[in-house]
Every structure is written in structure tokens, then in C-alpha cells.
Amino acid sequence: MARTIIVSNRLPTKVRRTDEGLAFAPSEGGLATGLGAVYQQGDNLWVGWPGTFLADEAEQNQVIEQLANDHMRPVFLTEDEIRDYYEGFSNETLWPTFHYFPQYAVYQPQLWAAYQAVNRKFCQAVLDVAGPDDTIWVHDYQLLLLPQLLREALPQSTIGFFLHIPFPSYELMRVLPWNRQLLHGMLGADLLGFHTYGYMRHFLSSVNRLLGHSNQNGMVEVGQRTVLVDSFPMGIDYDKYATTAASGEARRLEQEYRQAIGEDVHVVLSIDRLDYTKGIAERLRAFELLLQTSPELLGKVTLLMLVVPSRDQVEQYKQLKEEIDELVGRINGDYRTINWTPIQYFYRSFPPEELAALYRLADVALITPMRDGMNLVAKEFVASKTEGRGVLILSERAGAARELSDALVINPTDTEEVARTLHRALHMPPSEQQQYLASMQAVVRRYDVHNWVEVFMNRLAYIKIKQQVMATD
Ligand code: GDG
């Protein structure tokens, strides 16, 4: 029977080494939730790296066995591969380039060689389990070469690809060495999905200018094959967020936090992974400007800023962490009083029930990335506001801004605009908050992650049928 195989750099389960041996923990990402219904069915599978270096064959076998029960098949990476393919080419070449930070990008042939080799390794891992009739859905920027590698080995198979980060304009792509090989790699898929129409257009433009393929309504002729390119904005598990936020535990925690912060203090919430794409330092400067220009808010507003540790061995991330530490220290030093802290800053991750309580508690969510493929936090905040109060401030450069046009949409580089918008959000009448939230909730509820999977899979089936019809014409 034909199967569906999901492939991504990371598996939806994380393996960690502890004093008691290996520990397995589910990752809470939206992708795992959305695709749960797919890969856990029948003989379907998820192929990916379990997130830890495992040199020992006994440990590897333990992981293979354990994950097999949950429909997962691990790809093991060596320490060199983790450094050169993952931390190197993926995170220091592609990530900055695709997020419009080419000044942070490194272009090194040995990283490119590792990227190619690991994409081949993933290909072999998929071929070990896939048959010619299977549907294979590849995810994200770490595996751009995989669709074409699979196509060569399984010419008839059905291959989908989805990019979770932005696809940059041609002007960025033209700077990237190996750009043609990367595009060619992606075009091995039958269907290529992006979060927004804009990313899709950028991709088509690069394909046209670098490879000479034009398109008609998103259909690109590649040799004998027709490849479909389309946008599929990813959603969240709306019901899960709404239910968790309405639970007794979330309410209890919210009250506890509220008492600690003060009944009449407005809470502005920000949540991101530590990353230069997220605009964290600029956000802090905007908050400082708000305090400078709105003395009536002193003692009346607190920024709760959660930064989830990430890549902090990389130089740029280390520097960013220092910059954030300094800014928070300076602003708190200038403004804090015995019973008020302007910025409550946490550099760690939180369990989901605490996150739900924070979403409940927040009067304003301040989401100001410089670039972000989608930004699921914006949608989670909207879904969690079951009482109909709360204001979302959202960067125009997050993919989510396309759908959430009833947010207060700002340019994250414009510190004055962000400060002004914060002021407006903190003074917005409840009826207006309710109106904006209701319309955003309708969108986020309707286009949830289950709908996203369904629509993508339907389009993939459609293009396969279309290809067959065109072949017989
Ligand atoms: C890529 C793209 C795109 C955050 N802090 C904690 C925590 N989180 C959860 C949030 C949310 C997720 O992490 C972060 O959302 P992103 O949208 O940034 O997702 P990523 O996978 O990091 O990024 C991005 C996305 O893919 C999907 O296509 O939107 O643009 O970069 O779900 O809730 N979760 C827990 N504790 C935390 O402290 N449990």
C-alpha cells in the first residue's frame, strides 16, 4: 500500500543524553501536531535527525527501536556533519541569506560539500523505506537538495516540499553561490509550498532569472515534468490553544502572575527564540522610548520578555545575547522602582501550561521580527484570547501579517512607530479590542494546521493527476 513519508531535519521527538541514559521527549512544535495525524497512520513514517550526536552503536540501536514504535526513523549525523551541514551551511549560510542578513552569511565550499553529503544521506534513509508509489513530503531549508535526489532515484514518486522560512528576493539569491544547484534541488518536487504569495513570487522570479524557466499560474515546466508552486500559510492547532488557555490550570497560573505583577499594571508579552531575525534589541529600544515619552505609564506597564536559548555558541548569537542583557539592564536600571520592574526578562523556555497562562495574562503581544517565515506565536496569542481582550502588534515582515491584517501592523525598524503603536494598544477601548480579535480568531480558527495539511495534500494529489493527464494528451 502507498505510504506517506514526512522528512525534516529534526524528528518530532528529541533524544537527550541524561545520567540515567537516553531520554525521549516529544517536541511541542506546530509541525509535529499538524503532521501527527499523517505520520502516525497505517505504515506512514517520519524520517529525520533525533537532535543529538550518538556515536555508540548500542545507543543508535536503542533509538531506532524506540522510535520505530512511534513511526519514526532516525538519520544519525556525525559531529562533523552537525557542525558543517547543520550549524554551518543551514544556519550560517542559508538562514541569514533567506532572512535578508547576507552580512552574516558565510560561503565556504566545505560547508556546501557537507550540505550536499547530508542531503544524500537523508535521500538514502528515505530510499531505505520508500517505494515508487509513496508520497514524500520534505520540509525546510536544511533539505533543499533532497527533492531532486529523490526524483532521480524514484522518478514516479509523489514529492511535496514546504519551506518554513521566507524565500528571499532574487537580489539576495543572486549573491548566494550554489544558487542554481539549490533551486534545481527544490524543483525535484511536484509541489513546492511557501507561507505567502510574496515568497512564492520571489521563488518563481529566481527560477526564471537563474534557471530560465518561466511559469504559468505557478506551473513551471522542468524538462518533461510540470512542477506546481503555491502558497499555503501554515496554521496552528486552534482548539488546543483555546482549550488550554481556558483550562482551570491556566486561569490559576494567570491569577498567580497577576498578583505578583500588580492588578493595575498592563502586561506586554514577547516570546521568541534568540535570533537576530527577531528584532529583539529594536523592540527593547521601542519600549524604552515609550517609557521616555509616556510618563503616565511609569509603574503601569511591564514588558514580559521570554527569549528561548538558541545557537548561543555562534558568535552573532552570543553578541546579540550580550546586547539584550545590556539593554535590559540599562532600561531597568534607569526606570525601575522598589515595587515595579519595567522589563521582566527570562532567558529559558517555559512549559506549555505556563505559556498558556502568559498568553491569557498579556494585554498586548509585541511581535516585531525583522523577517519571519510565518510566526506562530502571533496565531497562538490570538487563539488563546478566549475572553475577547488583547491587542496584537505585528511586524509587517512576518508571514502572519498577511492573514492577520486586523493586528496593529508596524515596521519593526521604525522605533517611533512601534512606541506610538504600543501607546495606542495600551489605550485601546475593550470594544475595539474585541472587534479586531474576533475577526482574527475567525481566520486562525478556520485555517488551522489540520486544514493546512489537508489543503497541501490535496494540491499534491491534484498536480499528480494533472501531470498524468498532460502526459496522455
Ligand atoms: C519556523 C519559522 C514559522 C516558544 N517559546 C516556547 C515555546 N515556543 C513555541 C511557540 C511556537 C514556536 O515555539 C515558535 O514559533 P515559530 O513560528 O517561530 O516556529 P519555528 O519552528 O521556531 O520557526 C517560522 C515556523 O517555522 C512554522 O512554519 O512560523 O517563521 O522560522 O509554537 O509556542 N514553547 C514552549 N516553551 C517556550 O518557552 N513549550
Task: Give the residue carrying C-alpha cell 534607569.
Answer: 334
Nearest Cα to Cα of residue 141 among 113, 111, 161, 169? 161
Q: Which parts of 187-289 are beta strand (E)? A: 191-194, 215-216, 219-222, 225-231, 266-273
Contacts of 387 (CB under 8 A, 6+ apart): 360
Q: At CB < 8 A and 24+ separation, what contacts does 461-464 make?
A: 461/158, 462/228, 463/190, 463/191, 463/226, 463/227, 463/228, 464/158, 464/190
Mean pLDDT of 456-464: 96
Out of 71, 99, 139, 164, the active site residue is 164
Quickly state the pLDDT bin for 49 (edges 50, 70, 90). Answer: very high
105 lines ligand 1 (CB under 6 A): no
374 lines ligand 1 (CB under 6 A): yes
Contacts of 143 (CB under 8 A, 6+ apart): 7, 8, 9, 119, 122
111 lines ligand 1 (CB under 6 A): no
Is it the case that residue 464 has pLDDT exceeding 80? Answer: yes
Question: Which atom of ligand 1 approaches the CA of 380 most closely?
Answer: 33
Task: Give the residue carrying C-alpha cell 536503542.
Answer: 62
Mean pLDDT of 104-125: 98
Q: Give nearest CA residue, ligand 1 atom 34.
A: 352
Is it the case that residue 372 has pLDDT exceeding 80? Answer: yes
Q: Give the pLDDT score at 123.
A: 98
310 lines ligand 1 (CB under 6 A): no
302 CA from centroid of ligand 1 (Å): 23
80 is catalytic: no
Q: Which amino acid is at 120?
A: R
Is it the case that residue 96 has pLDDT exceeding 90? Answer: yes
The DSSP-derived string for 266-330 is: EEEEEEEES-GGG-HHHHHHHHHHHHHH-GGGTTTEEEEEEEE--STTSHHHHHHHHHHHHHHHH
Q: Give the pLDDT score at 169.
A: 98
Q: What confidence tens digit (pLDDT) does each residue in 357-367 have?
A: 999 999 999 99
Q: Give the pLDDT score at 34.
A: 77
End-to-end CA distance of the chain: 28
Q: Give nearest CA residue, ligand 1 atom 21.
A: 29
427 is catalytic: no
**Mean pLDDT lowest among 31-45, 59-73, 182-196, 433-447:** 31-45
Task: Give the residue carrying C-alpha cell 531520554.
Answer: 23
Quickly state the pLDDT bin for 28 (edges 50, 70, 90). Answer: low
User: What is the predicted ipTM?
Assistant: 0.99
Q: Of the residues 141, 271, 376, which should be mutated to test ligand 1's pocket, given the most ligand atoms within 8 Å of the CB?
A: 376
Quickly state the pLDDT bin for 394 (edges 50, 70, 90). Answer: very high
Average pLDDT, the chain: 96
Q: Which amino acid is at 61?
A: N
Q: Which amino acid is at 165?
A: I
Is it the case that residue 29 has pLDDT exceeding 90? Answer: no
Sign of the CA dihedral with 74 first, then 79, 80, and 84 last: positive
- For residues 181 and 179, give the distance between their C-alpha atoms in angstroms, rounded to a whole number: 6
Question: Which atom of ligand 1 approaches the CA of 28 most closely?
Answer: 39
Strands 408-410 and 391-395: parallel
Q: Give the pLDDT score at 145.
A: 99
385 CA from centroid of ligand 1 (Å): 18
Grid cell digits, residue 388? 475577547
Q: Give the pLDDT score at 264.
A: 95
Grid cell digits, residue 368? 516585531
Q: What confidence tens digit (pLDDT) does each residue in 260-299 have?
A: 999 999 999 999 999 999 999 999 999 999 999 999 999 9
- For residues 367 and 374, give the distance between their C-alpha atoms in angstroms, rounded to a whole number: 11
